[in-house]
Structure formats: C-alpha cells, structure tokens
Amino acid sequence: MLALTVSEGGAAHSSTLHYLIFLTGGPAHVASLAPFVGAGSIAALRTKTLPGWIPWVGIAAAAISLLCVVSFVWYPASIFIPLGRVLSFVWSVAVSVVLVR
C-alpha cells in the first residue's frame, strides 16, 4: 500500500499511516518490553537465580524502554527506542546463556 503512488488528497492518509506504523513498531513495541524485562529482573533479584549484573541490566533496560514513550510528545526522545530495544535484547541473551548452563 505504501509503495503505490499517492494521488491528490491521499498524501495526508499516507503520512498518517506512516506515523501509525512508526508508533506501533517503535515506542509501542519497546514500551511493551519494559514490563517483561522489568518483572523478570525483579524476580531474579529476589530469588538470586542469576548473576548480580544481569538483573541490573534488565532494570536499566526496562527504565530506558519506558522512557521511549516520551517520544510521543518530544521526537528527540526517540533515541531511547533503539537503546531500550538493544539493552532488552542483551538482557534476553544473557539470561538465556546463564539458564542454559
């Protein structure tokens, strides 16, 4: 649909659709990672099942992932989108490696 040429009057719809795609793939996706990573990290801190640095990376990832919601109103805050996504990925890989061993 986005590859089609935009006729007169369709430019507004195209830009709206582009903005909605950004929101669902960016802030909404990363903000939904925050509860998962945060809850897992808090549980790991309480039970001491993971090395001490992994839960703290997860808590930092959850906090940064929540900060990406600010990009709804202030576009420069969108830097938190890739930061939260990458830190959550690092946390996920670290937890997986530790649990496999």
Q: What is the dihedral of CA 73, 77, 80, 81, to 10 degrees?
A: 50
62 is written with which tokens?
């959850």
Ramachandran region of residue 80, left (φ > 0), alpha (ψ -120 to 50) or beta? Answer: alpha
Residuewise pLDDT in 10s, the chain (101 residues) = 445 555 555 667 777 777 777 777 788 888 899 999 999 999 999 999 999 899 999 999 999 999 988 888 888 888 999 999 999 999 999 999 999 98
pTM, two decimals, is 0.77
